[in-house]
Structure 1
Amino acid sequence: MSTQSTNQHAGVVSHHELRQTLGTWQLWGIAVGLVISGEYFGWSYGWAGAGTLGFVVTALFIAAMYTTFIFSFTELTTSIPHAGGPFAYARQAFGPVGGYIAGAATLVEFVFAPPAISLAIGAYLHVQFPGLDPKHAAMGAYLVFMALNIVGVQIAATFELVVTLLAIFELLVFMGVVAPGFQWANFVKGGWSGSDTFSVGSFTGMFAAIPFAIWFFLAIEGVAMAAEEAKNPKRSIPIAYVAGIITLVLLAIGVMVFAGAAGDWTKLANINDPLPQAMKFIVGDNSGWLHMLVWLGLFGLVASFHGIILGYSRQIFALARAGYLPEFLAKVHPRFKTPHRAIIAGGVVGIAAIYSDNLIQFGGQTLTANIVTMSVFGAIVMYIISMMSLFKLRKTQPNMERPFKAPLFPIFPAFALGAAVVRLGTMIYFNLLVAFVFAAFLALGYVYFLATRHQRDIAPADALLED
């Protein structure tokens, strides 16, 4: 961006509005913590249509997509360490419209994921306190962790690291407790043989299970939105991303196999608490192990819930700062230096989703399943435009500083892009109603985008996104 064009703006935005305090371990904690609730619930919905063996195939392909995507996405994150993450990359590559598409898709992903996680928190608490309404517990979780995020990013990130480590420990404990009852015959029951309702009769169920395989890894890219708050993003973010995706792949495989081999896996499909129910096959209903799993299992849900609040708030903040959302959402707290208004705004939408059964529970799927699917639609669209941005910036800005380059370019980003396009097509086919709602969100947002051009024209120039 030229000096003349910069001067036409209200000023150059200060990228130290957000405090730069996060180290490598904290970023790894955010990377894993954002996702780790996906090991505790959500994925087992994929068994209902694909069976265990079919879902393994789907999950492994999705794991390959995410691995190549993260290695490619890290190039963008370290080259443009911006709180807007994908929004910033697409805006630099494709201009304002590209920025809108990436920003809106990311918002859908990060604003709709927390309600699903909070409902799972409510379901876990309901196991311990049957009289507690899961939805009220979900709303309570929002209020507590929105407040914690407002208090400060250093406190929030340290908390995230601690609960993530506890969540990983608990997943290992789960595998250890159910290991004595591990029977491979349980896992493959109905897998390819067609012996029961949950078998895989064709590849159809495997494609329909895509959103639930993605749930194993959804939102790891949210580390990008903490880039402005990292002490040394060009070094620490690549380490956090690579170590994070390896951690998550290993945990996903372990949890899925051990849960399915513990007993009758058909009873674990279409529920929000598959791990406690799987443990019941081995230890019974009143075991201390079960109660420990429920309580410590909450750490996994809390880690993701808390981390995604951090992610959606930075996305809202960055979009508002650039004039894509109302400017008042870009204000930071005068004492804590956190985007408190953005945190609250995303929370209001999430709490509304929790209590919107009649609006979100459609198409024969549960409330949680539809929220998960909506979030995944946002993620897939964001993955597509991010990989397109990588290719475009390699061509138009070959001299851009790239502290980390995607390995095996162009193979890795091309595989991630192609897989994401295939996944989007199959998701639309199997989730037409949710796809329509998602498209309606994007269309309404685009109307707002067109109506608020003046808002972007007077927004401060962005020093990290100079032409």
Structure 2
Amino acid sequence: MSASQLKPTLGTLHLWGLAVGLVISGEYFGWSYGWGTAGTLGFLVTTLMVALMYTCFIFSYTELTTAIPHAGGPFAYSLRAFGKTGASIAGIATLIEFVFAPPAIAMAIGAYLNVQFPALDPKWAAAGAYVIFMSLNIIGVSIAATFELVVTVLAVIELLVFMGVVAPGFSFSNFVLNGWAGSSEFSVSAIGGIFAAIPFAIWFFLAIEGAAMAAEEAKDPKRTIPRAYIGGILTLVVLAIGVMIFAGGVGDWRTLSNINDPLPQAMKAVVGNNSTWMHMLVWIGLFGLVASFHGIILGYSRQFFALARAGFLPPALAKLSRFQTPHRAILAGGVIGIAAIFSDNLISLQGMTLTAAMITMSVFGAIVMYIMSMLSLFKLRRSEPNLERTFRAPGYPVVPGIALGLALLCLVAMLWYNEVIAVVFLVLMLAGIICCNLVIAARRGVPASFASEG
């Protein structure tokens, strides 16, 4: 095994745990900000639209993942389809998605711990989470993936328990009350709310594609990845719809719309502050946040590693530790994330909380990456018809076309409703692309194609 080769150790169950674990914190927090924008009914419409986009996307994306099982994921697909310019766009967009999501999750971990320990500063708890889970990722991917699987299973069970415990207090009338952007009746403003809430519906599913970045570390990726992805998206759609509906029907949903711990607060309305169920949700609920936090650290590190190995970022980021893990890439993303956590009092973007701003920034990166991935799928179908495809997107070209069309719609809506963050995102994209070009020029060569890999 070469010094820059990742070790294949992951099976189907590990990959399912990674696909679901990367996302599952989105069921615990973040999405409820969408209620403040669209109301419960408006946000339900947004979520169903986004769920359709993700389902079509994953069935299409799996074709790319199995045909080109590379740690770079979308970066590798775009490099093969569009060359270094397309690869730079996809790679930097993916980095923005995966680097800005962990600070939001870490802050939620701090908020959950603060429920149990009011004297604990959530920011320091968030920074401590970074230190712990960066260390775990450095030790080894097999240990990290096994841990990810365990906490993901516990998180799924806990969400099912949450729905069961609050079910006796559920009232559909509570859920629909003022459900259209704060109004009881559908109106033009409700349509605006539906589109403005897109980032928070995407948060329900954001980063499921990150399992592709572990493709080099998967055993028999052409078989294990499709199973993991299909099982993962079905799991997440069911949980997202269930959690949202049950949480919205237990009382006044408006009290949950701008906080980082909506599930404990929803349960508190049913069972009270001192219930055993309540304490269980806080502690076991942390597993959902930890699963995503830990998994996305793995994701961003593989993207840094792949870009550096291909010659788009400084080669130091492609160095592997004695555990065969990209430790420098893991630390690089962590430094950015911890800095973002402590910038809360310095940064105010469009009047959002830090958590909402980080979510929106991450979603911008994700949407650009989804668009590049679907364009790569269409391009490679034409330019490389003989590429080995053990899994083909069903319903081609309609299914990937739906994913691409909805992703473009989401991008336009986000640009319209998030002008300030859009400008910051654009600046980061341009800076990243310039950095890639400078590194390529400094190394005096065009990076090798991945045409022979996978």
Q: TM-score, normalised by structure 1?
A: 0.94
Q: Is the 8 A contact 1:322 1:459 kept in 2?
A: no
Mapped partners of 2:379, 2:308: distance in 1: 25
Return the offset for 1:201: 4.0
13-22 or 238-247: bigger deviation: 13-22
Cα deviation digits, residues 217-237 of structure 1 (max 9, x gap)? 000000100000001100000
1:51 alignment partner in structure 2: 39
Quick one: structure 1 residues 432 and 198, their matched pair in 2 at CA, closer, same or farther if it must change by over 3 Å? farther
Amino acid aligned to 1:257: I
Name the SS of the counterpart of 1:357 in structure 2: coil
Matched, 1:442 2:429: yes
Matched, 1:291 2:256: no
Cα deviation digits, residues 335-392 of structure 1 (max 9, x gap)? x100011000100000000011244322111110000000000000000010000000
**Matches for 1:266-281 after TM superposition, within 5 Å:** 266-281=254-269
Q: Is the 8 A contact 1:50 1:199 kept in 2?
A: no
Mapped partners of 2:340, 2:438: distance in 1: 26
Return the offset for 1:173: 0.7
**Matches for 1:62-77 after TM superposition, within 5 Å:** 62-77=50-65
Name the SS of the counterpart of 2:190 in structure 1: coil
Quick one: structure 1 residues 237 and 15, their matched pair in 2 at CA, closer, same or farther if it must change by over 3 Å? farther
Return the offset for 1:35: 0.1
Mapped partners of 2:285, 2:57: distance in 1: 28
Return the offset for 1:15: 8.7
Q: Is the 8 A contact 1:321 1:460 kept in 2?
A: no
Quick one: structure 1 residues 195 and 102, their matched pair in 2 at CA, closer, same or farther if it must change by over 3 Å? closer
Return the offset for 1:202: 2.4
1:420 alignment partner in structure 2: 407
Report the number of matched residues.
454
Amino acid aligned to 2:353: T
2:228 alignment partner in structure 1: 240
Mapped partners of 2:451, 2:319: distance in 1: 19
Matched, 1:404 2:391: yes
Mapped partners of 1:280, 1:180: distance in 2: 13
Cα deviation digits, residues 180-202 of structure 1 (max 9, x gap)? 11110110011249657999842
Matched, 1:78 2:66: yes
**Matches for 1:15-30 after TM superposition, within 5 Å:** 17-30=5-18
Cα deviation digits, residues 267-299 of structure 1 (max 9, x gap)? 000100000000011011111111110000000
1:108 alignment partner in structure 2: 96
Amino acid aligned to 2:249: A
Matched, 1:165 2:183: no
Mapped partners of 2:26, 2:177: distance in 1: 24
1:177 to 147, 161, 165: 165
Q: Is the 8 A contact 1:262 1:278 kept in 2?
A: yes
1:61 to 49, 59, 65: 49
Amino acid aligned to 2:259: I
Mapped partners of 1:369, 1:447: distance in 2: 28
Q: Is the 8 A contact 1:322 1:456 kept in 2?
A: no
Mapped partners of 1:198, 1:265: distance in 2: 18
1:212 to 193, 197, 200: 200
2:334 to 341, 344, 347: 347
Q: Is the 8 A contact 2:26 2:204 kept in 1?
A: yes
Matched, 1:378 2:359: no
Q: Is the 8 A contact 2:79 2:450 kept in 1?
A: no
Mapped partners of 1:200, 1:277: distance in 2: 31
Q: Is the 8 A contact 1:331 1:340 kept in 2?
A: yes
Amino acid aligned to 1:238: P
Amino acid aligned to 1:409: Y
Matched, 1:260 2:215: no
Q: Is the 8 A contact 2:109 2:286 kept in 1?
A: yes
Structure 1: tracts of 5 or more residues without a match: 1-12
Mapped partners of 2:155, 2:122: distance in 1: 21
Quick one: structure 1 residues 466 and 229, their matched pair in 2 at CA, closer, same or farther if it must change by over 3 Å? closer
Q: Is the 8 A contact 1:34 1:307 kept in 2?
A: yes
Q: Is the 8 A contact 2:26 2:205 kept in 1?
A: yes
Quick one: structure 1 residues 21 and 459, their matched pair in 2 at CA, closer, same or farther if it must change by over 3 Å? farther
1:362 alignment partner in structure 2: 349
2:378 alignment partner in structure 1: 391
Amino acid aligned to 2:115: V
**Matches for 1:120-135 after TM superposition, within 5 Å:** 120-135=108-123
Return the offset for 1:28: 0.2
Mapped partners of 1:466, 1:221: distance in 2: 20
Q: Is the 8 A contact 1:190 1:198 kept in 2?
A: no
Return the offset for 1:149: 0.3
Quick one: structure 1 residues 232 and 129, their matched pair in 2 at CA, closer, same or farther if it must change by over 3 Å? same
Quick one: structure 1 residues 81 and 41, their matched pair in 2 at CA, closer, same or farther if it must change by over 3 Å? same
Identity in percent: 68
Mapped partners of 1:54, 1:31: distance in 2: 27
Return the offset for 1:51: 0.4
Moved over 6 A (4+): 196-200
1:155 alignment partner in structure 2: 143
Mapped partners of 2:10, 2:111: distance in 1: 32
For the aligned residue pairs, the C-alpha RMSD in angstroms reads 1.9
Mapped partners of 2:105, 2:67: distance in 1: 31
